[in-house]
Amino acid sequence: MAKISDIAKRTGYSNATVSKALNGSPEIPESTVATVKKVARELGYVPSSFARTLKMRRSFNLGVLFVDQTNAGLRHEYFSSILEAAKVEAEKRGYDLTFMSHTNYGGLKMSYLQHAKSRGMDGILIVSANFLDPAVEELAQSGLPVVTIDYVYNGCTAIMSDNENGMNSLFEAAYALGHRKIAFIHGEETDVTKRRIAGFLQAAKAHGLSLPSAYLGEAYYHRPETVMAALEPILRLPDPPTCVFFPDDISAITFLARQTQEAKRIHPLSFAGYDGIDLTKMIHPMLSTYVQNSEEIGTIAIDKLINRIEDPRLFVPEVVKVKGHLQSGDTIQKR
Amino acid sequence: MAKISDIAKRTGYSNATVSKALNGSPEIPESTVATVKKVARELGYVPSSFARTLKMRRSFNLGVLFVDQTNAGLRHEYFSSILEAAKVEAEKRGYDLTFMSHTNYGGLKMSYLQHAKSRGMDGILIVSANFLDPAVEELAQSGLPVVTIDYVYNGCTAIMSDNENGMNSLFEAAYALGHRKIAFIHGEETDVTKRRIAGFLQAAKAHGLSLPSAYLGEAYYHRPETVMAALEPILRLPDPPTCVFFPDDISAITFLARQTQEAKRIHPLSFAGYDGIDLTKMIHPMLSTYVQNSEEIGTIAIDKLINRIEDPRLFVPEVVKVKGHLQSGDTIQKR
DNA sequence: TTGTATGCGTTATCAG
DNA sequence: CTGATAACGCATACAA
């Protein structure tokens, strides 16, 4: 690999001059810069990022915390889309993305924070993790620039998918189509789930509806069997709902694919998913759902993170809510 | 951040001794090692990976090339599962994973190879990319340890999902259920597609069947509309197939979700997907498909890559075929 | 406008 | 068994 000293030798300039020329120092005249850059290109020179990191304490590398848990790993389209968008934005701004881990390095186990410091990471994006894990909290409170998705830590910027708006949009859609008895099967208790339940209940309240508590069912995200199990008793209620909101699109599609013509005729049930995964648009009937704007979430997260890194003085922690949009679809039917 | 010299000061030993003790050099006695490690732990010492990389020319960092193309980005469950497995395996062996890019760094654009060298990457995993892109070829032929998925470069180890076996398994399943007129709508022309077509035709030949060429349709992966469009004329043939293989599960599920009871009665068509995404197991009827073993593919890829890095003398490029398994499902029906 | 010298944290060589 | 010293590639304070 060509290094600065090679360029120095070739051009006759000193290392210092070459370095300055390469980094656009104002003290170097255009002509010198041109010569240096030309030779640099000829030699295929690329700066050694680790040498640079050592000297400058800047790695242009961001850590991504992405722990597969509660079935919400890389395979969850919501998260993988966020990551995809984050990757694109980071690349655009000249940063790399490295997965965080707590591997043993030379025999010494390390925490996320130690890993981050060891690699000289300039900042951290926490996409999916157990936010109550002490190791994650430590990372968030370390003073390192951290941006979180769908969870707020004191002092950190958080990008939140607008779950209240999501539930409200779905509710309004169902209400407008004549539904008054609406059930909601939510996922396991997480921060996001709480927001969704609150959004759901608020929307009901706004319309003066008081829904029986039996209309709330608990299940797990991305585990349709648990959702179907929770749905069962609700449909058996003396006064069953006419519409049900599922915790995610996977459950909703599962439900759709399990419904027989027979069942539909006996018990016509409207329903909606949540997330807006690609498949919901392709199937007939199109799934009614709320499309989370994962692309914008990932993009904004990286944007805010890098802005803080590059100009810390301007930094003030904020909570950014990102709205998605309703996909009307055909599974909430007029009533 | 505590550094070696801090430990040296605290223990009274020199930097050199501390470094050796930490790295398990045989010349340092147990007692010294114990003291040093104790203090290291107390100070929360973690080695600076970039300083280490600079000196040792080893980063313990692997590049992952993952380019979103032909709808096959991170959101494709097959690829994200591979990545997930790779991530787990890499972490287990003490390596980090960094996404490859060709960002401009200090104003200079760089190739994938330059990026890899700049970051001192020890090896590269190519999960999804345009394998004909000169920049990708350059990377593969650079001499850097490279492992590819589903594509073979001369001199590089490749991990291949067994597409021949996949198509053969599906064919056997359909044949056993009485199907003789089987169509295959494949994805756009890629290496993988060629293998699948070959596997399909071989299986037919093995049974002495000669299928009309009109039974082969071309579409795009993960774009169900194109698949449905390709299916249309096939179903209109004077002698239409009784069973059709789709290029992927997404298309198959789309087809399933679009079929009305009506259509099923008029034109009962058996069909199968490909990939084995989670959703296929959850729906009723369960989708008949071939489950690619993405987890093993990702794990083996990293394993082979690190083995080569850690003992290059033992390296010999190989092509590893990873078999998946048939998921019988219910969408190929007896005939 | 350019060059010299120093240090970032680590490991490796060689001498004690 | 331990330590002094150099070197990895780069950026920068300071000197010329």
Contacts of B2 (CB under 8 A, 6+ apart): B40, B43, B44, B45, B46
Q: Is the model more confident about B259 or about B96?
A: B96
Cβ contact (<8 Å) for A118 and B49? yes
Cβ contact (<8 Å) for B103 and A80? no
Q: What is the pLDDT of residue A74?
A: 73
Cβ contact (<8 Å) for B103 and A81? no
Query: For the segment B171-214, what is each residue's pLDDT rounded down to a tens digit?
Result: 999 999 999 999 999 999 999 999 999 999 999 999 999 999 99
**10-residue stretch averages of pLDDT, chain A, 335 residues long:** 95 96 93 96 95 96 87 78 95 96 71 96 96 96 97 97 98 98 96 97 96 97 96 96 97 88 76 97 94 98 97 96 98 94
Give the Cα separation of B226 and B304 in Å (integer): 37
Q: What is the pLDDT of residue A76?
A: 87
Q: What angle is formed at CA A159 by the lines to CA A325 and CA A89, rounded to 5 degrees?
A: 90
Q: What is the pLDDT of residue B264?
A: 72
Averaged pLDDT for residues B239-259: 94
Q: What is the pLDDT of residue B108?
A: 58
3-state helix, strand, coil in chain B (%, to 5): 45, 15, 40
Measured between beta carbons, which residues in chain B are less than 8 angstroms from residue A66?
87
Tally of CB atoms within 10 A around B175:
18
Task: Give the bases of strand C that a protein CB approaches within 7 Å.
Answer: 1-5, 7-13
Going by pLDDT thresholds of 50, 70 and 90, the confidence category of residue B75 is confident
Averaged pLDDT for residues B34-48: 95
Q: How many residues does chain A have?
A: 335
Query: For the segment B122-162, what is each residue's pLDDT rounded down to a tens digit?
Result: 999 999 999 999 999 999 999 999 999 999 999 999 999 99
A 95-134 residues, CB < 7 A, strand C: 106
The pTM for the full model equals: 0.95
Q: What is the pLDDT of residue B183?
A: 98
Give the Cα separation of B239 and B241 in Å (integer): 7
**Statement: residue B249 has pLDDT above 90:** yes
Give buried/exposed letters for B268-305 (b at 16+ CB in 10 A, else e). Answer: ebbbbbbbbbbbbebbeeebbbbbbbbbbbbbbbbbbb
Q: What is the pLDDT of residue B258?
A: 84
Query: For the segment B208-222, what is each residue's pLDDT rounded down to a tens digit?
Result: 999 999 999 999 999
Going by pLDDT thresholds of 50, 70 and 90, the confidence category of residue B53 is very high
**What is the token pair recorded at A167?**
């539930």
Q: Are B63 and B302 in contact (CB under 8 A)?
A: no
Task: Give the bases of strand D that a protein CB approaches within 7 Å.
Answer: 1-13
Q: What is the pLDDT of residue A273?
A: 98
Chain A: give the shortest CA distance to residue B118, in Å: 5
Query: For the segment B277-328, what is each residue's pLDDT rounded down to a tens digit?
Result: 999 999 989 999 999 999 999 999 999 999 999 999 999 999 999 999 999 9
Distances (CA, A) of A112 to A49, A126, A179, B46, B275: 22, 11, 48, 11, 34
Measured between beta carbons, which residues in chain A are less than 8 angstroms from residue B61?
98
Distances (CA, A) of A179 to A244, A289, A295, B77: 10, 16, 32, 35
Q: Is the CB of B311 under 7 A from strand D?
A: no
Q: What is the pLDDT of residue B262?
A: 63
Q: Is B40 on the interface with A (CB under 8 A)?
A: yes
Q: For chain B, what percent of residues have pLDDT higher than 70?
A: 95
Nearest to residue B285, comparing CAs of B317, B245, B329, B249?
A: B329
Q: What is the pLDDT of residue A288?
A: 98
**What is the token pair recorded at A168?**
């409200």
Domains and CATH numbers, chain A: 4-47 (1.10.260.40), 61-160+295-322 (3.40.50.2300), 163-292 (3.40.50.2300)
Distance B5 CA to D4 C1' (A): 14
Cβ contact (<8 Å) for A84 and B68? yes
